[in-house]
Amino acid sequence: MFLLKKLYFYLFILVSFSSLINAWFFNDFGNEHTDVFSALNRFKDLEALDSEPIPDTSLPLSEKNEPNKEEVAADLLSTLLNGGLGLPHGLSFLKQVTRQPWWKGPEVCVSKVEQIVNNSQSDVAEKSPFIFLGNAAFSTCRNTLNKYICTNKIYSREETKTTEVIYQCCSGARKNHDTGYCEHVDIKPLDETAKNLGSGEFAKAMDSYIKKSVLETPNMTVFIPSDNAVNMYLQNLPTSYANERVIHAPAGNNSQDDSAENEITSTGDKTEKKPALSGNAITSERALNHFVPGIYNIHDLENEEILKTIDGLTIRINMYHGERKPLITANCALVKSANHPIENGGMLHVTDAILPQITKSIKDILKENSEFKMFNQFAADADLLGKLGEPGNYTVFAVTDAAFNKLSEDMRSKLQKGKSCITTLMKAHIIPRTLCGGAFGKLTVMTRSLSGNWLTIEKTINNTLQVGRDSETTTTDIVASNGVIHVVDHPIVPKSAQPVTSLMANKNHTMWLNLMKKAGFAETADEAMNRTIFVPSEEAIEKAKLDELDDDKLKEVLSLHISDKSVCSCQMKNNLMIPSLVPDEELRVTTYETSGALFVGLDPKIMVQCASIIERDEKACDTMVHEIDKVLTPATDTIIGKIYNDPSLSKLKQLLMNTSLHDELKNGSLGPITLLAPTENAFANLTEEEWKSLEDKNVADELLRRHIVSDVVCCDGVGMSTWPFSEEVNTANGFSMNVRRKSRNSVIFGETTTESCDHLTKDGLIHYVDKVMMPRPISLKGSAVKYIDSNGAEVVLLGL
């Protein structure tokens, strides 16, 4: 970012670039993916399971009862927030059309929780502005799906008193989602309520097989599958999930203790269709995991919340907010209807499937299933299997061995060689949240897997899930204690999980790949980790005739293009040195702002050893690949060494001798620089007189410093189009110099033009130029002019 730019026509630029800016914004947004789930979760409270009126906007109505302090505060606040006080009198009729809020309506019970915290010294310090004012009170109210909660905080010097007042439907009442108000409901026993909701079958079974004492436990939340779900289950028809077929323990240890009379078996001729592992019957054991001690209004539950059932198993609650109404699942069974009060203070929710029993972790389920041998092995290789055995929230797209075998032999063996390949690949199959099949409605979901790749998932017309481009689920919703498994028919292979040789083949770096093979580099390339490879374009390879090199030379050239450090373009700062595989050879990174970049948000141009990076960050699983437009050449010498060793720079050397610049070049105190080295021909054009003036070492020193640019400026780093921008570089004697491109192969620095560009050295760069820039009046900043007269005296003219 060394090039100083002067922007001359600010207004012109702003006008002409405004359309570009728009395009840029547009593109930026187009490329940005939003994580649907996290984004939508933020709006959780805005969407009701059933539609509910917008929160109240009315002024407080007069109350028969003396309102308590909190209510007054709450009313005042909501009034303020809604701009009620600002309503002109003439418009006061508007107030009459607004409705009474539900939480002031019938069947609403108010409870109050008070908490007093003694203020510690540090609290006092923190809240001091309030304390100085004496007591301070704050009140906030919010409407959730089933509650209206007002929080009142009173600070004083000694204590903070928090009072929470909660309005909700009384037990025995239910929010009517059409009116928005709480309504009294006739509380009936569980079985009767269930029957009225079209879920009588399951309740009937429970009545016969579950102990009365259990059924009559007070304050129980019960998930009841609909009759349809029960029938599907008994007949072993495919439901949206297929837990039973996969989840159950291996034969022999399954439900052995269920006595035969404790089962309702499916009727009729379905027996031969029964799977070997699990007779589809609703046993008492099978039913008990639908009972949760405690009262849980579905709106009070959180996404990924785990409920403990009466038999010690778990129910995982998930909420998906993508569709118009949020979808709520319990162990991946969709909750169809919620919050029905029942006798004994209980609560009933209807689901569209029998809740699977959760006893095992994802790891256990995978390990018990012989279809997932490779998946388990790879997950273990990637150190992920252990994680899948721990508590967490995961969705795993499990790949069967048969599906893994769909990958080419070559790809499989490469995957197995490189640990980071397999890690990226396996991580691409794991999503760090629970996504049940029921979560996918009409929307296409984009979510990030553990590998950081975006995965698109959508429901197909066949009720399966399309995952990425290649994979489709064969079984969904195998629920585990720490998430859910969906089985897919093809591995998910993100680009970044490709071995580097596959990437090169896919990206048409064919010649380079062949050279790597020829030099014996290809075999090890897929196993190496944390590498960067600069791959020259096919044209560049052809031009450099790399195929004509003998093996030793080829190895050296290739080694120069490979680094054992992984460097993305995001890390490439100006003058970063990247070590190469050639001992003591480092690659210099230089960056260049392109004209107008500031305005259109273009990334700066990045060069490596003066070769432009034309394609950045092609990421293989273990290697970063950047395509460049030239074959890299090593930096062979230092600048001073080059001056000594190159006979065509003998005049320059002669001038340099005994100047202080000589020592500074030698000890590197000038930092990375660009030397504009006049050739012998250029010096030949100097007059006698001019030569003579240069015998003075101070004059020579000053002259040579004009030929030193205090940065590394590769010829190709200088932009093609310079108008209306002018690019400037600083010279070692503290002036700035205009730089512009003359033709494809030459650049004009000040008054001189390059004859031969980009001679790389360890400490910078040399361009051979065609002219010595003898001192002439140089315009200074402002209106001063400075020149050195023929006697070597420095003359500064002011006010010209």
Ligand X SMILES: *[C@@H]1O[C@H](CO)[C@@H](O)[C@H](O)[C@H]1NC(C)=O
Site stretch for ligand X (CB under 6 A), options 94-102, 391-399, 531-539, 629-637: 391-399
Q: Which is nearer to ligand X, 260 or 461 (CB)?
A: 461
Q: How far apart are CA 554 and CA 552, in angstroms?
A: 5
Instruction: Determine, following the binding rule CB under 6 A, whether residue 658 of this chain makes contact with ligand X.
Output: yes
Least Cα distance to 479 among 609, 328, 315 occurs for 315
Q: Which is nearer to ligand X, 556 or 755 (CB)?
A: 755
244 with 374: CB under 8 angstroms? no
Q: Which is nearer to ligand X, 374 or 388 (CB)?
A: 388
Least Cα distance to 56 among 82, 80, 37 occurs for 82
Terminal Cα-to-Cα distance of the chain (whole angstroms): 33
435 with 445: CB under 8 angstroms? yes
Instruction: Determine, following the binding rule CB under 6 A, whether residue 122 of this chain makes contact with ligand X.
Output: no
Residue 121 in 3-state DSSP?
A: helix
Q: Which is nearer to ligand X, 118 or 743 (CB)?
A: 118
Q: Which is nearer to ligand X, 193 or 471 (CB)?
A: 471
User: Using the rule CB under 6 A, which residue among 238, 391, 520, 671 binds ligand X?
Assistant: 391
User: Using the rule CB under 6 A, which residue among 201, 477, 618, 664 binds ligand X?
Assistant: 664
Q: Which is nearer to ligand X, 99 or 417 (CB)?
A: 417
Site stretch for ligand X (CB under 6 A), options 311-319, 347-355, 445-453, 456-464: 456-464
Instruction: Determine, following the binding rule CB under 6 A, whether residue 461 of this chain makes contact with ligand X.
Output: yes
Q: Which stretches of 269-418 are DSSP H helices?
A: 284-288, 362-368, 373-381, 401-404, 409-417
**Total of residues contacting ligand X (CB under 6 A):** 29
User: Using the rule CB under 6 A, which residue among 34, 253, 267, 687 binds ligand X?
Assistant: 253
Q: Which is nearer to ligand X, 47 or 770 (CB)?
A: 770
Long-range residue pairs from 544-548, CB within 8 A, at least 24 positions apart, any chain? 544/630, 544/631, 546/511, 546/515, 546/631, 547/511, 547/515
Q: Exposure string (b/e) for 111-149, b if CB count within 10 Å is 16 or more?
A: eeeeeeeebeeeeeeebeebbeeeeeeebebebebbbbb
Neighbours of 406 (CB within 10 A): 14
The three-state DSSP-derived secondary structure of 678-740 is ECHHHHHCCCHHHHHHCCCHHHHHHHHHCCEECCCCCHHHCCCCCCCEEEEEEECCCCEEEEE
Site stretch for ligand X (CB under 6 A), options 1-9, 61-69, 549-557, 652-660: 652-660
Site residues (CB under 6 A) for ligand X, limited to 515-554: 529-530
Q: How far apart are CA 225 and CA 201, in angstroms?
A: 9
DSSP 408: -
CB of 710 to ligand X, least distance (A): 15
Site stretch for ligand X (CB under 6 A), options 660-668, 706-714, 727-735, 754-762: 660-668
Q: How far apart are CA 343 and CA 193, in angstroms?
A: 9
Distances (CA, A) of 788 to 91, 549, 683, 728: 84, 52, 18, 22
CB of 461 to ligand X, least distance (A): 5
User: Using the rule CB under 6 A, which residue among 19, 34, 96, 118 binds ligand X?
Assistant: 118
CB of 295 to ligand X, least distance (A): 6
Site residues (CB under 6 A) for ligand X, limited to 716-775: 770-771
Instruction: Determine, following the binding rule CB under 6 A, whether residue 462 of this chain makes contact with ligand X.
Output: yes
CB of 685 to ligand X, least distance (A): 4
Residue 468 in 3-state DSSP?
A: coil
Q: Which is nearer to ligand X, 250 or 275 (CB)?
A: 250
85 Cβ neighbours under 8 A, 6+ residues apart: 79
For every residue of 258-292, DSSP letters joined together read --GGG--BPPSS-GGGS-SS---B--HHHHHTTEE
Q: Which is nearer to ligand X, 323 or 364 (CB)?
A: 364
Instruction: Determine, following the binding rule CB under 6 A, whether residue 101 of this chain makes contact with ligand X.
Output: no
User: Using the rule CB under 6 A, which residue among 34, 120, 667, 791 binds ligand X?
Assistant: 667
User: Using the rule CB under 6 A, which residue among 685, 698, 745, 779 binds ligand X?
Assistant: 685
- The encoded tokens of residue 80 equal 């303020």
Q: How far apart are CA 369 and CA 354, in angstroms?
A: 23
Instruction: Determine, following the binding rule CB under 6 A, whether residue 650 of this chain makes contact with ligand X.
Output: no
User: Using the rule CB under 6 A, which residue among 18, 22, 135, 219 binds ligand X?
Assistant: 219
Measured in whole angstroms, how far is the alpha carbon of residue 46 from the centre of its chain? 25
Task: Write the burial class of residue 513 (CB in 10 Å: 0-12 exposed, 13-18 middle, 19+ buried).
Answer: buried
Instruction: Determine, following the binding rule CB under 6 A, whether residue 216 of this chain makes contact with ligand X.
Output: no
Site stretch for ligand X (CB under 6 A), options 239-247, 315-323, 655-663, 791-799: 655-663
Sheet holding 314-320, edge to edge: 291-293, 220-225, 346-351, 333-342, 327-330, 314-320, 305-308
Q: Could you give the angle at the alpha carbon of 633 between the alpha carbons of 630 and 638, nearest 5°?
A: 140
Angle between helix axes 409-417 and 419-427 (nearest 10 degrees) is 110
CB of 118 to ligand X, least distance (A): 4
Q: Which is nearer to ligand X, 16 or 508 (CB)?
A: 508
Instruction: Determine, following the binding rule CB under 6 A, whether residue 304 of this chain makes contact with ligand X.
Output: yes
CB of 220 to ligand X, least distance (A): 10
Instruction: Determine, following the binding rule CB under 6 A, whether residue 393 of this chain makes contact with ligand X.
Output: yes
Q: Which is nearer to ligand X, 509 or 630 (CB)?
A: 509
Residue 626 in 3-state DSSP?
A: strand
Q: Is the dihedral of CA 768, 770, 773, 779 positive or negative?
A: negative
Instruction: Determine, following the binding rule CB under 6 A, whether residue 392 of this chain makes contact with ligand X.
Output: yes
DSSP 82: T
Site string for ligand X, 473-512 (x = CB under 6 A): ----------------------------------xx----
CB of 62 to ligand X, least distance (A): 31
Q: Which is nearer to ligand X, 336 or 490 (CB)?
A: 490
Site stretch for ligand X (CB under 6 A), options 514-522, 607-615, 650-658, 709-717: 650-658
Q: Which is nearer to ligand X, 15 or 657 (CB)?
A: 657
Instruction: Determine, following the binding rule CB under 6 A, whether residue 456 of this chain makes contact with ligand X.
Output: no
Neighbours of 712 (CB within 10 A): 24
Residues lying near ligand X in the complex (CB under 6 A): 118, 218-219, 249, 253, 303-304, 345, 391-393, 460-462, 507-508, 529-530, 654, 657-658, 660, 663-664, 667, 669, 685, 770-771
